[in-house]
Amino acid sequence: MAEKNRSQKGNEISRREFLGKSLKAGAGIAAASVATGFIGSGKGGFSLFAEGKKETAIKPKEGLVSGMIGGPTGFPGAERYQYGPNEAPGRAIEALRQLKGAGKAPKQIVVMMPPGAVGHWEKPFPEGSRAVKDVFMEETGIEIVPVDMVETEQVTKLVQDYQTGARSYDVYSYWSSDLADVASSGALYQLDEFVDKYKPDWTDPQTGYVGGDVTLTSASKLDGHIYNVLMDGDYQIWVYRKDLFEDPKERTDFKARYGWELQWPDTWEQLDQLSEFFHRPDQGLLGSTDLRNQYWGFTNWYMRYTSFADPNQYYFDENTAKPLIDSPAGIQATREIVNSMKWHHQDGISWGWPEQYANMAAGGTAITCAFPNMPKFLDSAGNPDSKVVGKLNSGISPGRMVGGKLIRRAVWWPSIGHGVATNTKYPEAVYLFLQWASSGKIYGWMTGNPAGYYDPVHISDFTDPVVVGSYHEYHIPNYIGSIERATPPIIIPGVSEYVSTLDTNLQEALTGNKTPEQAMKDTAAAWEKITDSKGRDKQIKAIRATRKAWPSITDRATI
């Protein structure tokens, strides 16, 4: 297996500055949820490695419920995150103890991670708890060493680390949407053998990913093989000002103008009408601020484009790998994106998510599409800078009527992923750490912590009192609905080249340098060259493998 893995080769703004204040502001509501949402913890279990040279010596760990072998302790409700020997995190911990006792595990695991995620590991939460990395240390005797790396530099740094044999990291971090390119570089260890042996809970109906195997396929697999451990839920979700939507005068005026009740829209045409209606820049109100800038904005094109067919409008033909984006669907999606700039800020083409979040916090827009944590950070009583506390709601992406069905399509992008570094000396132990960390119970405990920006992605996250209290009850159904309707971005080898070309041509259309028709024609021509350079047969195989990751759900129109 090691030889197999070792032979496999093949401008953006960091979230650090924004999250510095916002994460602190969210701590109050999450802590309150813990205080009111759980019952007291018990005692039991013998699970802790004593520090010292004799790795097999263990001592009792106080605070575990009977039958549990590990998990956090020390705060009310800790038992919710504790696990037994037959659960995914328990299997990982017991296997790590055996490896440690046999001298087949490291003293420390060095984990590359984005700056916005470090707090999840190093800051204890809630009060009375130990930090996540400290709990792992007490249960395995292995130290977790987080090393922060700005998101936009991760892929370059990890490929350099792999190619030079530097062995600086045991775990690499990257956007999951870049998986195809990262895995093709040879830097990631193929995880199939370990997954079969230790059985993570990623597709468990109780604690696994929302979307189950579809999510696993789209975010973790390349050519049917698992390389990535998903550690984030970066789905793009629509958020709007409910105070405006519920205002009696606004409702009367809107219906008189457009002939339908003011409510969250079914279709893109209706969204555009809402954006037009609320666009009042002279009053400090924008119609919509879903992003249009380079790198972050093209996901909003994805949603409009993929909703053009039942079940989906795909990027490539699965039999020829020829691009489909220069079709009427691609041209119309581009035309809509360009036209919608009428209801954005005059500098909207340069706005990234920091400007977007700040504008919504000031009450400066009626509608936007953002990361799932916008309500978590802005609709928080602990955020004194937000003027929209108690005024937000969310909705599932609009869509199109196709053959009598409403096709709504959201998109996931980019989502933090972690992979086992090919060059690590202890791949099995490193994988087991990731199985433990990504398990439903441990991940739920981490994502409820406002010190980091992991977003919910496990089924159990959406019923967890801490997570729900932080993200808000009104947001949870729309969050789940968006995941169920989320298409993958482009996730085949060459992803960075395909995406860069699309992004550049969309910017050309937005600035008026190209017509939508020319922009899509040029993108398709460039994509053909990329496909030929990667090997058309290889790309056809990869495209077919991703089809499983696409949603099939349809809706009924309500308007």
**Residue 122's CATH number:** 3.40.190.10
| Same domain (yes/no): 321, 381 | yes
Which residues, other chains included, contact 154 with Cβ-Cβ below 8 Å and sequence gap of 6+? 112, 114, 172, 173, 174, 175
In a domain, 97, yes or no: yes
Say what the pLDDT of residue 59 is.
61
pLDDT digits (tens, 9 = 90+) for 57-107: 446 588 999 999 999 999 999 999 999 999 999 999 999 999 999 999 999
69 compared with 33, residue with greater pLDDT: 69
Structural domain count, the chain: 2
Is the distance from CB of 359 to CB of 289 less than 8 angstroms? yes
| Same domain (yes/no): 219, 138 | yes
| Same domain (yes/no): 223, 242 | no
pLDDT digits (tens, 9 = 90+) for 510-519: 999 999 999 9
| Same domain (yes/no): 285, 338 | yes
- CA–CA separation, 32 and 35 (whole Å): 5
Residue 450 pLDDT grade (very low, low, confident, very high; cuts 50, 70, 90): confident
- CA–CA separation, 16 and 23 (whole Å): 10
What secondary structure does DSSP assign to 422-438, as a single string?
A: TT-S-HHHHHHHHHHHH
| Same domain (yes/no): 343, 195 | no
In a domain, 99, yes or no: yes
In a domain, 520, yes or no: yes
pTM: 0.85
| Same domain (yes/no): 57, 138 | yes
| Same domain (yes/no): 149, 246 | no
CA 535 to chain centre: 30
* Residue 347 token pair: 């500098």
Least confident of 284-298, 310-324, 447-461: 447-461
pLDDT digits (tens, 9 = 90+) for 383-413: 999 999 999 999 999 999 999 999 999 999 8
| Same domain (yes/no): 127, 255 | no
Say what the pLDDT of residue 25 is.
37
pLDDT of residue 44 exceeding 50: no
Q: What are phi and psi of 490, to 5 degrees?
A: -70, 120
Tell me what percent of the residues of the chain surpass a pLDDT of 90.
83
Is the distance from CB of 291 to CB of 301 less than 8 angstroms? no
Per DSSP, the three-state class of 98 is helix
| Same domain (yes/no): 224, 241 | no
In a domain, 450, yes or no: yes
| Same domain (yes/no): 88, 179 | yes
In a domain, 558, yes or no: no
pLDDT digits (tens, 9 = 90+) for 307-337: 999 999 999 999 999 999 999 999 999 999 9
**Which range marks the domain in which residue 214 is found?**
2-231+416-456
Instruction: Identify the CA nearest to 529 among candidates 558, 497, 482.
Output: 497
| Same domain (yes/no): 54, 193 | yes
Tell me what percent of the residues of the chain surpass a pLDDT of 70.
89
| Same domain (yes/no): 227, 344 | no
Average pLDDT over residues 543-553: 93
How would you classify the pairing of strands 221-222 and 225-226? antiparallel
Q: What are phi and psi of 271, to 5 degrees?
A: -60, -45
Say what the pLDDT of residue 147 is.
98
In a domain, 480, yes or no: no
In a domain, 524, yes or no: yes
In a domain, 62, yes or no: yes
DSSP 75: S
pLDDT of residue 422 exceeding 70: yes
CA 93 to chain centre: 26
Average pLDDT over residues 15-29: 37
pLDDT of residue 459 exceeding 60: yes
- CA–CA separation, 194 and 200 (whole Å): 9
